[in-house]
Structure 1
């Protein structure tokens, strides 16, 4: 198909007949890099849309292109579709409608009833029998087809040349090339595991590799000699290799794309690193220079290559077999057709291919979900202008795991819950007490603008730092000994008894062992009470300012309250709830903490916002913005632990009488809320037994058992992002499948609030949705396989075994019910906006990125107008 390259090349100069300058290569590499996505280290795991650079093209075109280039299917498999259908998740009436719409939009010269019969049979998704595909009778019929017009059957796009060559042992050279590249990527990128770092690493990937490659014993003498003579500059090395390989100028970009797609994980990590610092800005170019130079050395003995023209007749056999199997076409009837008629039949079968069949099923699945969600909301919908007195207001992250917890909380009393992005609009990096380093605490699509530090009394801080340094020194010593060749021989003798005892305890009494170790650490460290550096600090040596100016304090508080729709009718207690997770021995811990913020839990941000909203000077200036916070209203901060569905208090200042009453009420009902939320959530896990007496105790076991491969489902089954007042969904059981963001269109005359929600949380939710989608439909390429067989490598991520791609997505245990049945429903995100239609029209007009995503099928869009009418856009 090649559609991706064609569209991307619109951004590249038409005249690429001669590549003279370095900038020409850079332009081509930049364009080619859109087929991969940046990959963050797993310790700061961030959900990523693997197709973020391809959204200017229709989803179905990208699906066809990936099928042609990498033999990757990004539509749900037939087994997933049939399983969903058997469970009643797909209304087949939508499938019939979609089929008729497709037939109406295409012209073909075969009887309509024959075409419909063929399509209906093919949509049952049963495979063509293998004995039919290999039958002699079918072979003879294919041999007789000599005049078939195959103009509409496209050749595969350019791939790495090594993918077409096998060595004398029958091994494809591209697999050997991948093995070498993985080895060098691990050496260069490692920052925490290797005892000895890669020599000359400071000179960059390409030059460090070039200095060592001449001594690589895994290469032959001739290969080492060939690589020793390559140019010192990576751009010149690429041009030289392209010339030796005789890559046509018109095919260079697709050739580069093929190399990037060969190992999208390692290439994605190089792309991410290239964007982090000016020192490594050319890292992706260097990666391609290494890879292409090595390919050139590996295939040199096989040059010149003979032109291997694909035989178009190979594609005819399954097309004819499809008509025999699904169209009830007899060989006699086929033989009586003219060549033109045969061409029509084969062209029709080619058009109604497996991708299209699964596309129609996916759309029916999505339409069923949309229809049932609309019915669920409309049947429970309340008037959004209803106001009732509330004992407390609790603002939660939009995370889908908050929805069931919020629902259980609302059942237990007059509590109002609110949805907002869980960093609460604070673009901060956090510097926790005793730490010399800060980490961003906001979605990875943003950059921190302020640093907030924890501080304590000087004497307490000094004592705490000494205790923390002792713990860190012990840990670092252990790690250093593990990585040292000689010291590692002595380490088992020293650490064996303690580690053996720890292993036995964690294996047979995980809850008690984990609690004992955690309490031992906390009691020893004894972290003192801390203060936050909310006030702006001048003349700091940090890259970003510490604290906020007086104006910024007011602006961030005002912005957060507006985003929550909390500008009047304040309760006596307002709880700002971040969220985090709890699990043991889990490489994907950061993914469960927050898939958007690189693993940064939201408690710190919640504390900062609550503290800002309690400042008298902030409240005074907010009053000038028509936000009057009553004197007895107190903001507190908590963190929702999603694995155990508990609320942990982080910041509780002195409370007013009414706020204390509300706080005590929440404390009283929380055990019941937690118990009920755990019971609902754990019932979805495949290894949970309903006869267990205490769901709460079992939830803690999942969190504390170091052998547990599925401590929670995370954001699996996410399918919708609902933007509107809580009254819209309050009585609905959304099954933990919807992101919920508060929005009152009556307070957003300009549409700026809605635009900000779509640009920020809307982008994040789409990334999360497509991360789960991709990890489910293509687990071997976009996921990370079985958690139990993963290897954490280079401190960066995971591999399967010791030489695989750096795996970019979620493990099977996050998306699969079993080895054969998916838990996550791979549906593209449905964005639902509660507002008048003109708000949505204005949004689509002004937001070209959203308009493109909707038109090209990357997200779905619906709206509910003030009268409750649902409309799909």
Structure 2
């Protein structure tokens, strides 16, 4: 490649930065909540919002009417606004009266500073109405759907070459490009571009003649116009990088989009080309100062102040709900200890379970229970991830029958079944065989159709089966998991849970999962810490390890003595029905059956209370306890149910500390709760671990819900009733759209009348000295960046405890956030 075919370094950096500004997404069967602004975290949240508005016409905030309603309804109080105004800094802040007056004027829609040439130049569109831009997005989106298909589409794109090269070949072979886009001369220009991605980028970036900052703005803006497929490509790159490989598929998609822009610009007159370059130069600038918030002189700046006041009001309520003045309680060995995921839905079951039986102590940690695990079934399918999206599997849990001969036989049967399914799928979607398939097999499907329509299925869908035999080995080497490895895993697990003494006779590790039917976003209701899978498998593996005598002997050498009388079991909480299944209950020693019966009785009482609590938001008021349970069970197998549960809607905070801070407090299922004993972590290692994983994951979840409410057209998945799954597990499109819909469906955050999620950035409260928090942040730079740039707020409860009054205490959060 000669120098003229290489993208200069400064332009390379612009292209790379634009791609990295897009957050990754995962396939539907591994769907996890993702912070859609993860790639913009190096900027302040308000500066990032300004950039999104300038480049993509995307608003990160709710409309002015939302904040006005909160003010007039008393949700936001004067002291909340005053706290925020006092924190603006040395620059003059608007008065409360001025802010209210401006708010009553309504929304002042900020125009998009720059847009595609196909929108900015009327001569390129048949009627000057933007049809050409929509056509370009549609063409690129539909090509991506064919290219990334996983054996579902009738006709797939040739994937022998990269995305850009395949697209270039497709465009050259088509004679309808000009007609489809509505602009003459496009195909001739596109055909003359190089076929290789890097050579094409070199020509495109040279011909567009934009300075690096403007080029980055253009590239980012084009990717935002096709945000679904851009996020999918970024996900492929992300996972390749995490696995030590390389992928540039997002860069290839950008080459496609730049090619369209280049061709359109070439057909524009000189005046339009000049105006286009000026636009993207302005889009590269920022309307915010280096601190991320201006002084509130413009409407957007004032909306950010109202957003902060909205968050401050809830922080005040949260602080008033906690047991901040509770004296330390002497450690007492409970009768049962139950460990749950930090998921906000666990707050509800923990509270009700402790109310049902005072002898039960609950604890919380990330629901993958410290196992960076992939589960390999007896098939040729790749292992399923059972860990957070930020990590890669270190351990493989492989199903086994116990013998090599049995494994091979089962693997052969499973693969044969999959071949049959693929044959049926191929016939179903084939251009000719689809008609004969219906004629010949229609009656065979009749009973299933009737049964599912009447909700007479065999039971709830999901990974609810009990784990069979497993063979544990390292992901990299394939070596069996040694006793030393298990001891280390057990030690890390118990220390991260702050459980190293005072063990109960019965220790229950409770994973969670959601059982639904015909739900493309099923994984989004399961355990996010388990990669969108149900957490019972992880719980069972850890329970088995902690019961092994050799592991307990090793733990004792580490200073952790699990009494001989303690038995560890696993369970799984169905978050739709609020029932808990004890896994392998029959293997429980006879000596522990009495305490297990007591625990199960408490679970039954707690489940009834939880279902009553959830009845109102689920619009199931008026049903008796038995009828309510039956209705929720029906939802697990109802293929027409679009709101089986509310998932993590309304999540707003994370509490890291001892259970005494929140025991007996009704936190409304809005708080992630991670156990932490500051007295047992003087070096801060445990807190650093919590910061590096659970807090970042909680922030991802929080901002996914935030974005799905504030910018649903861009970061929400739209209406479930209009979804079509494409590419097998790639994603969904809505109606006749061509771009992937990312984020959460409308039905996951809205009940048909009102939003079920209040968009607020995560509030993290930590029972630790500020010095230890600062040290842990130094060791976790990604989280430190989120805190510094106000993507979440964080503070020390020990600092707040010195301040009397919930309002003044909440003001402490401004300093940290």
TM-score (norm 1): 0.83
- Is 1:187 aligned with 2:146? yes
The Cα of 1:96 is off from its aligned counterpart by 3.9
Question: Per-residue deviation at 1:258?
Answer: 1.5
Alignment of 1:45-444 (within 5 A): 45-85=31-71, 88-99=74-85, 102=88, 105-107=90-92, 117-124=97-104, 126=106, 159-166=115-122, 167-172=125-130, 173-199=132-158, 201-220=159-178, 222-277=185-240, 281-306=247-272, 352-378=297-323, 382-413=326-357, 414-433=359-378, 436-444=381-389
* Structural RMSD (CA): 3.1
**Structure 2 partner of 1:455:** 400
- Number of aligned residue pairs: give it: 773
Verify: 1:475 aligned to 2:475, yes or no. Answer: no
* 1:447-846 alignment, distance < 5 Å: 447-458=392-403, 468=414, 472-507=418-453, 509-510=454-455, 512-515=456-459, 530-534=468-472, 536=473, 543-545=476-478, 547-652=480-585, 654-685=587-618, 687-693=619-625, 694-795=627-728, 796-818=730-752, 821-846=754-779
**How far does residue 514 in structure 1 lie from its aligned partner after superposition?**
4.3
Contact 2:64/2:107, CA 8 A, preserved across alignment: no
Shift of 1:116: 6.0
Q: CA deviation at 1:789?
A: 1.3
**In 2, Cα distance between equivalents of 1:26 and 1:168:** 35
Q: Distance in 2 between matches of 1:177 and 1:499?
A: 40
Measure, in 1, the Cα distance between the counterparts of 2:740 and 2:27.
Answer: 10
Q: Determine helix, strand or coil for the equivalent of 2:508.
A: strand
Instruction: Give 1:175 deviation, angstroms.
Output: 2.0
Shift of 1:862: 2.3
Q: 1:867 to 1:480 in 2, by over 3 A?
A: closer
Q: State the alpha-carbon separation in 2 of the partners of residues 553 and 867 from structure 1.
A: 39
- Could you tell me how far 1:469 is from its partner in structure 2? 5.6
What TM-score do the two structures reach when normalised by structure 2?
0.88
Shift of residue 794, structure 1, vs aligned partner:
1.9
Do the aligned partners of 1:31 and 1:253 also contact (CA within 8 Å) in 2? yes
Q: Is the 8 A contact 2:571 2:580 kept in 1?
A: yes
Structure 1 residues 457 and 843, CA gap change in structure 2 (3 angstroms): closer
Q: Call closer, same or farther: CA 1:841–1:35 in 2, change over 3 Å.
A: closer
The alpha-carbon distance between structure 1 residues 845 and 429, as it changes in their structure 2 partners (threshold 3 A), is: closer
CA contact (8 A) 1:816 1:824 kept: yes
Instruction: Report how far residue 284 of structure 1 moved.
Output: 1.9
2-side partners of 1:461 and 1:236: how far apart?
A: 49
Q: Distance in 1 between matches of 2:142 and 2:62?
A: 33
Q: Which residue number corresponds to residue 139 of structure 1?
A: none
Q: 1:55 to 1:265 in 2, by over 3 A?
A: same
Q: Which moved more, 1:650-659 or 1:717-726?
A: 650-659
**Secondary structure of 1:636 counterpart:** strand
Question: For the structure 1 residues 622 and 814, does the alpha-carbon distance in structure 2 shift closer, same or farther, using more than 3 Å as the test?
Answer: same
Tell me if the contact between 1:572 and 1:658 (Cα under 8 Å) persists in the aligned partners.
no
Q: Say if 1:398 and 1:419, in contact at 8 Å, map to a contact too.
A: yes
Query: 2: CA distance between counterparts of 1:126 and 1:156?
Result: 19
Q: Secondary structure at the match of 1:579?
A: strand
Q: Secondary structure at the match of 1:553?
A: helix
- Aligned equivalents of 1:76, 1:867: Cα separation in 2: 30
1:127 and 1:296 map into 2 onto residues whose CA distance is 35
Separation of aligned partners in 1, 2:614 and 2:273 = 58
Larger deviation, residues 365-374 vs 429-438: 429-438
Alpha-carbon displacement from aligned partner over 1:437-470 (angstroms, at most 9, x marks no partner) = 3122110100111111122245876776677567
Partners of 2:770 and 2:135 lie apart in 1 by 56
**Rg larger for:** 1
Q: CA deviation at 1:421?
A: 0.5
Looking at structure 1, the residues matched to 716 and 381 of structure 2 have their Cα atoms a distance apart, in angstroms, of: 34
Structure 1 residues 305 and 678 mapped into 2: Cα distance closer, same or farther (>3 Å)? Answer: same
Instruction: In structure 2, list runs of 5 or more residues that go unmatched.
Output: 179-183, 279-293, 803-808
State whether residues 18 and 249 of structure 1, in contact with CA within 8 Å, keep that contact through their aligned partners in structure 2: no
